Amino acid sequence: MKPKNQRLALVAAAALAVLAAVLLAMLGLKDRAAYFYTPADIAAGKAADGKAMRLGGMVETGSLRRDPDGVTVRFLVSDGQARTPVTYRGIVPDLFREGSGVVAEGRLDRGTFVADTILAKHDERYMPPQLGNQAAEHQAGTTLAR
Amino acid sequence: MIAEAGLAALWLAAALSLLQLVLMIAELRGVVAAARTIRAVAVVQGVLALTAMAMLLIVFARTDLSVALVAANSHAAKPFVYKLAGAWGNHEGSMLLWVTVLALSGALLALFSRRLQQRTLIAALGAQGALALGFYAFLLVASNPFARLDPPPPQGRGLNPLLQDPGLAFHPPTLYLGYVGLSVAFSLAVGALLTGEVGATLARAMRPWVLAAWIFLTLGITAGSYWAYYELGWGGWWFWDPVENASLMPWLAATALLHSVHVLAARGALRAWTMMLAVIAFSMSMVGTFLVRSGILTSVHSFAVDPSRGTFLLALLGIYVGAAFLLFALRTAALKEGPPFELVSRESGLVANNLLLSVILGVVFVGTLYPLLAEAVSGNKLSVGAPYFNAVAGPLALLLAALVAVGPLLAWRRERRPVAKRLALPALVAAAALVISLFAAPQIGLLPRLGLVVAAWLAPASLLPLVGRNPLRAPLATWGMVVAHFGIAVALVGMAADSAFTRETLAAARPGDKLSVGPWLVELRGLAPVAGPNWTAVEAELRASRGDGVLVMKPQTRFFSDPPTETNEAAIDTLWNGQLYTVLGKPDEAGRWQVRLWWKPFVTLIWLGGALIALGGLLSLVGRAWRGWRKARLT
């Protein structure tokens, strides 16, 4: 190849690589990005069954139950307007308790949210204990508001 | 006093970085001859930044609660090592560490780059000064680590227990040496674009920096992966968390740069291409810093900081990346074209490596930033995780790993020998691996199976550059390449085996109950309270047996009082063929405890492979340094 053509070929290859990356990414994102829903969204029928998604809200007080197997928990997530039942098999994170905010990853199965992961907020910046609950509520509030 | 001294050192260092920039402009315009001065200034700037970091370490070591940062992140009752490591376990301290590494890199560049053209070195030091100036400004204006509290609180808030781990002492500094070490490649590229002296000399000056930064990045990522694996207690080794991606992206760019800078050094080809990669590599470091430090992400690593910092960092990012790209666009047409090469040649192989790495980088970049963009544009909240990255980046990475087997066998400029013949044995091994895996494990997924096959292909092929010659007389750099490429195969086996053969059991158990996981029978013997320096815990005693071998494992649930938190300390036992991983969960009303068990065959190969890759880099670095030193002595 002549030097001039070689540079042209390299530029073309680089452009092709960028294009390929963007195309691949867009194709991949189309059905693999998990959208964030609130119980109100789910009640309104915005979320499709079986698609990976995130659910956020408050763990409703008095709704937490444990199955006889000892490792499956069931609870209701509410956003003040609607409630979604959630099941999760696993060890829940420390900050998970009734009345505090939660984000769950998983999918909807006939109205019940089957969670693969319950997200814990691991933060290096801790609030003093007496402010802790307020902070957790505040955090959940901003999660929902955003 | 000590905090004030640290602050003063920072202000002085900032002033010197400005001086560095001004001297560079004056020198390049021919106003003054400042070559010696600019070097001295860069060295003093590095010493001052190091002084500031030392002062921060001292206030943390003494738990000086009148310093706001110490009060917010430390506690008198914390073990001494974590008091020190706590200095960078927070936003301000870690930014100071970042800038310190940046300034030290500049100092080392000024001290040791004798073989580079003088004008390019000066231009590079000026660029390094400009980079440092922006980040000093960020520290002094938006993230002062030495701010005082008046009156000081009676006790500090403590450090997140998850961070109270030997990993913290090691992981961030290593990663930062890698991240910020790439700044030198960036500055050298900017300097060379300014002076127009892009060629083999520049590449030889740039190569050790890229190699060193890349080694640290590799080690930092590998160590971080293992840290997350045992500390989080989730049994996973990579979560495609945005913060993990933030370290992966510079690594991908640096890996591409490492290979293209080699072409430039050996053949004088790929000039503009290499400059572009050098700019992109450090830009990815800055993108990573922005993602992690601005608090824009919600992830396991996310940091609660105010938005002004994010804006500041974004502005810095925009200025530096924008200026470098503009310079590249203006100067690249004037660069001389390198010598030509044919389609089947070592150069082409390395171009293919670069293209694939760039595509993977693009895919990770889009996946990481897409949620932020989507939220900013449409207000939709979404997350992109493992399903996307595995499905899109996974096959590309496997294709790349398969090509790694071929590239080193090709000759520079053009290949006339039949390379396919030399690859017959690896092809046979790969085919055998495919057949065996189909019979022995018909149920495993496509990606893990392909991973095993590609590893079986790459492992023997990676050794071929040593075949047909006396391996002991091969250059150390060749050994480095072979070890690193073999390491990819090793890591690949670990990843594939972990995702294909992991067995998991989750159950609630009473003392005396027996659970099975994979080939193991695990009995919960009992629970006992234990106490550490600043925590108390419930510890389970598990007896795991397989055949006649018996292991006793003691996972814990720990309770920390400052701040009040609970963590799961997994108990992990490493055997030659895998790891048994046990986690103790919570008790229920009936007196049963949740126990989670994993049997992970060959999972350790992931980190062993990572370590081999880094070792390969080290061998190559030492080999080239040794050669350069001998050459310098002979002439």
In B141-245, the DSSP E strands lie at none
Render B309-367 in DSSP notation, one character per residue. HHHHHHHHHHHHHHHHHHHHHHHGGGSPPPPP--SSSHHHHHHHHHHHHHHHHHHHHHH
- Asked if A39 and A47 touch (Cβ cutoff 8 Å), the reply is no
Give residues 581 to 600 of B whose Cβ lies within 8 Å of A: 583, 585-586, 588, 590, 592, 594, 596
Closest alpha carbon to B256 in B176, B328, B362? B362
| pLDDT reported for residue B252 | 97
B32-B34-B37-B39 Cα dihedral, nearest 10 degrees: 160
Under DSSP, the state recorded for B588 is: -
The span from the CA of A3 to the CA of B551, in Å, is 65
Under DSSP, the state recorded for A61 is: T
The structure's pTM equals 0.90
Q: Quick check: B420 pLDDT over 90?
A: no
Q: B467 to each of A81, B161, B163, B432, B473, how far by Cα in Å?
A: 70, 50, 46, 22, 12
Lowest model confidence (mean pLDDT) among A107-111, B43-47, B417-421, B477-481: B417-421
- Quick count: other Cβ atoms within 10 Å of Cβ B529? 8
Q: Provide the token pair at B86.
A: 């706590």
| Region B231-235 average pLDDT | 78
Query: Is B4 an 8 Å CB contact of chain A?
Result: no
Lowest model confidence (mean pLDDT) among A52-61, B19-28, B446-455, B605-614: A52-61
Q: Quick check: B458 pLDDT over 60?
A: yes
| Segment holding B553, helix H or strand E | strand B549-553
| pLDDT reported for residue A80 | 81
The confidence band for B298, taking pLDDT boundaries of 50, 70 and 90, is low
| pLDDT reported for residue A120 | 54
| pLDDT reported for residue B414 | 81
Min Cα distance B21 → chain A (Å) is: 33
Q: Residue B162, CB half-sphere, CA atoms under 13 Å: how many?
A: 24
Question: What is chain A's percent helix, strand, coil content, to nearest 5?
Answer: 35, 30, 35
Of B157, B337, B391, the CB nearest to A126: B157
Name the residue with tokens 């900050």: A95
| Segment holding B611, helix H or strand E | helix B605-634
Q: Are B567 and A94 an interchain contact pair (Cβ–Cβ within 8 Å)?
A: yes
| pLDDT reported for residue A140 | 35
Determine the residue of chain A that is closest to B155 in CA distance.
Answer: A128
Which of the residue ranges B153-167, B508-522, B603-617 has the most confident prediction, judged by mean pLDDT?
Answer: B603-617
Distance of CA B357 to the CA centre of its chain: 16
- Residue type at position A127: M
Mean of per-residue pLDDT scores for chain B: 88
Q: Provide the token pair at B613.
A: 């890759």
B370: which chain A residues are within 8 Å (Cβ-Cβ)? Answer: 25, 29, 33
Phi, psi (5° rounding) for residue B574?
A: -95, 125
Fold observed for domain A35-120: OB fold (Dihydrolipoamide Acetyltransferase, E2P) (2.40.50)
| pLDDT reported for residue B122 | 92
| pLDDT reported for residue B300 | 36
Q: Quick check: B392 pLDDT over 70?
A: yes
| pLDDT reported for residue B157 | 74
Higher pLDDT, B140 or B115: B140
Q: Provide the token pair at B28.
A: 């390049």
A16: which chain B residues are within 8 Å (Cβ-Cβ)? Answer: 355
ipTM score assigned to the predicted complex:
0.78
Q: Residue B551, CB half-sphere, CA atoms under 13 Å: how many?
A: 17
- Quick count: other Cβ atoms within 10 Å of Cβ A101? 22
Phi, psi (5° rounding) for residue A84?
A: -125, 130
A21: which chain B residues are within 8 Å (Cβ-Cβ)? Answer: 358-363, 365-366
Q: B555 to each of B145, B433, B530, B537, B595, how far by Cα in Å?
A: 37, 37, 11, 10, 9
The span from the CA of B460 to the CA of B450, in Å, is 16
Question: What is chain B's percent helix, strand, coil content, to nearest 5?
Answer: 65, 10, 20
Lowest model confidence (mean pLDDT) among A47-61, A109-123, B264-278, B489-503: A109-123
The span from the CA of B491 to the CA of B221, in Å, is 13
| pLDDT reported for residue B555 | 92
Higher pLDDT, B139 or B80: B139
| pLDDT reported for residue B297 | 66
Domain chopping of chain A, boundaries: 1-32, 35-120
The span from the CA of B570 to the CA of B230, in Å, is 6
Determine the residue of chain B that is closest to A69 in CA distance.
Answer: B508
Q: Are A21 and B159 an interchain contact pair (Cβ–Cβ within 8 Å)?
A: no
Distance of CA B616 to the CA centre of its chain: 16
Q: Quick check: B137 pLDDT over 80?
A: yes
